[in-house]
Amino acid sequence: METRTLKSCEEVLTSFAGVQAILSSVQEDVKHMRENVNHISNRLSTARLGASEVVAQTGDLRKKLSNAEKRAQVATLFFKRFLLSRSEEAILESAEISEEFLGTLNKLERIHIESKSLLRSRNQRAGLEVVEMAAAKREDAYERVYRFVQRRCGALDVESAEDEAESKLLRETIHTLKARPILLGYCADEVGAARRAILVERFVAALTRGGPGGVPRPIEMHAHDAMRYTNDMLAWIHQALASERELIFKLFSNINESETPVREDREETALKVLNTIFDALCRPFRVRFEQGLDPQPPVVTLYKLASLLEFYAHTMMKLLGDDSGLPNTLLECNSLAMYAFFSAWRSRLESFQAAKPVPSEDLSPPIAVRQSMSRVKEIALTLDESLSPAEAREEQIVAVLEVILNPLITLCARMAAKHLDSVD
């Protein structure tokens, strides 16, 4: 029994010997696995520490990159706002004055103005450099603009539509000079002098040669007719004034100017130039008008001349201003015509009185009275057709009647007292 038991135990032990060998092998494998896991865990811990450093470095690099991008954006905006590009510098250095040149110059003027704000900040060094750069380029650019205006101001033909593009460029060029009032004043003088010479030449041509192909005919063809001669000269001057005024106001006045004082100043400059131009016609017109009064025209013609001169004087005064030379010259010629008119009447009355007329048998008005009344009727019709203000017309008719009627009434009273009895 015991033997079988021992034998069975031996068999069991024998059987478990293989199991024990397997378990030992498994135990060795587990031991190796634990060592590998520990090794991997150590490597993971080391990798985790390295990864955290990489993440930290990546965050720092991203912050530096963001700061660098912001600085690059600021630098780009600074360059665009306060510096000229190479193409813009090439435009400023080119020999041609164009719209691109003027646009670049306007940008340079804006840079010069805005760069002053840098001088009030921490960026004073950059501000000084920008101001120096802009100042040097501005001086050269404005000088070239002024020379361009000098060359082109007299070449425009107000009667030619082909010069519209040239006129537009010249207008924009002069408008650019608003930042330099002194140069703008010089340009105004240059334009005035050039247009003045052209206007005198055209006026003389209209007087002596007429229009293209002789149409219209020369004005001096009618120099023997004082009324038509004066009217043709004044009509030509008024037409030239309208054309020149349109051109000068296009050059020097900007209807889109937002600031009222600036717009008024520009209009004042345009009027000054316009007066400079048309002052040149004062002496030529007056000389020819005075020549037309010799020999002296009829008294009614003298009054019509005075009325015509007054009308054109007030019309041109609206276009040139109250203190303009040409309207004042016309008013002076008006005074000459009125003086000749009154002198002619006095001379006629004196000659009539010297003839010692006597009343007719039927007591009809003397011939001098009838002629005078006929002239007064013509003068009244002329005055009614006049475009002068109502107050001015009333003053004129009162003055005329005093000069004409009072001496006639006195003359008739003397004739009656000397040659007629109380019954007559």
Per-residue pLDDT tens digits of the chain, which is 424 residues long = 788 888 787 777 777 777 777 888 888 888 888 888 888 888 888 887 777 788 888 888 888 888 888 888 877 777 777 677 777 778 777 777 878 888 888 877 777 777 766 666 666 666 677 677 777 777 888 888 888 887 777 566 555 544 566 667 777 888 888 777 888 888 888 888 888 888 999 999 999 888 777 777 888 888 888 889 999 999 999 999 998 888 888 878 754 455 555 556 667 888 888 999 999 999 999 999 998 888 888 878 888 888 889 889 988 998 888 888 999 999 999 889 888 888 887 777 776 666 566 666 656 666 767 777 777 777 777 766 666 666 666 777 777 777 777 777 777 776 666 656 654 4
Residues in the chain: 424
How many Cα neighbours within 13 Å face the side chain of 58?
6
pLDDT for position 162: 45
Per the structure block, which two tokens stand in for 62?
């991203």
pLDDT for position 102: 82
Is 195 within 8 Å of 154 (Cβ atoms)?
Answer: yes
R_g of the chain computed on alpha carbons: 51
Is 172 within 8 Å of 102 (Cβ atoms)?
Answer: yes
CA 152 to chain centre: 16
How far is 340 from 302, CA to CA, in rounded Å? 7
pTM attached to this predicted model: 0.69
C-alpha torsion sign, points 315, 320, 322, 325: negative
How far is 60 from 49, CA to CA, in rounded Å? 17
In three-state secondary structure terms, 170 is helix
How far is 257 from 43, CA to CA, in rounded Å? 78
Per the structure block, which two tokens stand in for 304?
């019509």
